[in-house]
Amino acid sequence: MAKPERVTYFKTTITDKPGALLAVAKELKVKNVGLIGCSGFDAQPGKAELYVLPKKPEKLRNIWKTVGIAFQEGTGFLVRGTDETGALLTTLEALAREGINITASSAVAVGGKYGALLWVAQEDVEKAARALGVK
């Protein structure tokens, strides 16, 4: 099994229009906030949900609090490894064996490596961490 790690994500709502994500990305660059990843999708008419996974959660938390951006914070699990057929099976089996439902997932493979983000219900985070051998 690839070594999963616990990650902090931040969820916010942005306007669902051309350039909205660009504006956020520019602001993060100006504030020198490095990202592990980001994911977004339309949530309701005119609004989109944006999930940001910063390399330094405390930095993004402080910036968004200071500028008054409303956000929710949560914990997910990032799994990285060599891209091969069935690469996530051991991780998924560990969660299933403990009866933990994955509420959302996102994965990508590039250059022979993959990364997958797994979300579980927040009340299952500690149980999932134990199942995955994560601190």
Judge: domain 8-74, CATH 3.30.70.260.
yes
- Of the CA atoms within 13 Å of residue 47, those in its CB half-sphere come to 6
pLDDT at res. 21: 94
pLDDT at res. 2: 80
Question: What would the CATH number be for the domain defined by 75-132?
Answer: 3.30.70.260
Q: What residue spans define the domains of the chain?
A: 8-74, 75-132
Q: What is the mean pLDDT of each run of 10 residues along the chain (135 residues)?
A: 89 95 95 94 92 97 95 96 94 97 94 95 97 94
pLDDT at res. 94: 96
* CA pair distance 101, 120, nearest whole angstrom: 6
pLDDT at res. 48: 96
* Structure tokens given for 32: 């020198």
pLDDT at res. 1: 55
* CA pair distance 118, 91, nearest whole angstrom: 10
Measure Cα distances from 74 to 22, 57, 88, 95, 99 in Å: 23, 11, 22, 18, 20
